[in-house]
């Protein structure tokens, strides 16, 4: 199986079980309850030999790009834009582009995952043509985030 574009099936179940905390909610009148804080999320890159997709349940180092420049095992930390909705679609996108400098690797897929919650997988995204990959040699690699809305937000649930 090659890398794929997918919202991980395990993530869908975890949403129903309130596992992931994308932001810091306002709790209106609970005296003994402490408001939770946002979890820490990361983005890891995988080689064309990877096989991550809907069945991926957690971050793993197998077929992750080699450590190079500012890329280190596990990838980069990012924050989500506060989740929102429009019509029947809820959505969120990382708040800024995710970048690495001085790197050399070929990648065709990234995994977004929750490092606070035992590295649980959220979604995988194809970067160009699966199996071909995007290459960089001693340069900078940036994942530019789409507009955060119901049509183009990176994570959308309709």
Question: Looking at the domain assignment, is residue 31 inside a domain?
Answer: no
- So what's the pLDDT on residue 29? 58
Question: Looking at the domain assignment, is residue 49 inside a domain?
Answer: yes
pLDDT at 30 over 70: no
Question: Looking at the domain assignment, is residue 129 inside a domain?
Answer: yes
Cα–Cα distance measured from residue 7 to residue 53, given in angstroms and rounded to the nearest whole number: 8
Contact 59, 115 (CB under 8 A): yes
Q: What is the mean pLDDT of the chain?
A: 89
Count of the separate structural domains present in the chain: 1
Cα–Cα distance measured from residue 57 to residue 110, given in angstroms and rounded to the nearest whole number: 14
Banded model confidence at residue 89, pLDDT cuts 50, 70, 90: very high
Angle at 155 between CA 149 and CA 61, to 5 degrees: 150
Contact 131, 2 (CB under 8 A): yes
Cα–Cα distance measured from residue 104 to residue 135, given in angstroms and rounded to the nearest whole number: 7
pTM of full prediction above 0.85 = yes
Domain span at 51? 6-22+37-157
Residue 99's SS3 state is: strand
Question: Looking at the domain assignment, is residue 70 inside a domain?
Answer: yes
Question: Looking at the domain assignment, is residue 92 inside a domain?
Answer: yes
Question: Looking at the domain assignment, is residue 105 inside a domain?
Answer: yes
Question: Looking at the domain assignment, is residue 28 inside a domain?
Answer: no
């Amino acid at each position: 199986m090659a890398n794929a574009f997918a919202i991980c099936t395990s993530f869908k179940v975890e949403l129903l079980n309130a596992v992931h905390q994308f932001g810091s909610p306002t709790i209106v009148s609970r005296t003994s309850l402490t408001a939770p804080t946002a979890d820490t999320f990361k983005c890891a890159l995988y080689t064309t030999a990877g096989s991550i997709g809907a069945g991926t349940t957690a971050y793993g180092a197998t077929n992750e790009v080699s450590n190079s420049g500012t890329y280190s095992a596990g990838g980069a930390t990012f924050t989500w834009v506060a989740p929102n909705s429009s019509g029947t679609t809820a959505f969120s996108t990382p708040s800024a582009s995710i970048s690495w400098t001085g790197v050399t690797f070929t990648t065709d897929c990234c995994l977004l995952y929750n490092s606070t919650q035992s590295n649980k997988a959220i979604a995988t995204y194809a970067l160009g043509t699966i199996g071909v990959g995007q290459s960089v040699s001693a340069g900078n690699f940036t994942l530019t985030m789409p507009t955060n809305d119901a049509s183009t937000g990176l994570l959308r649930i309709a």
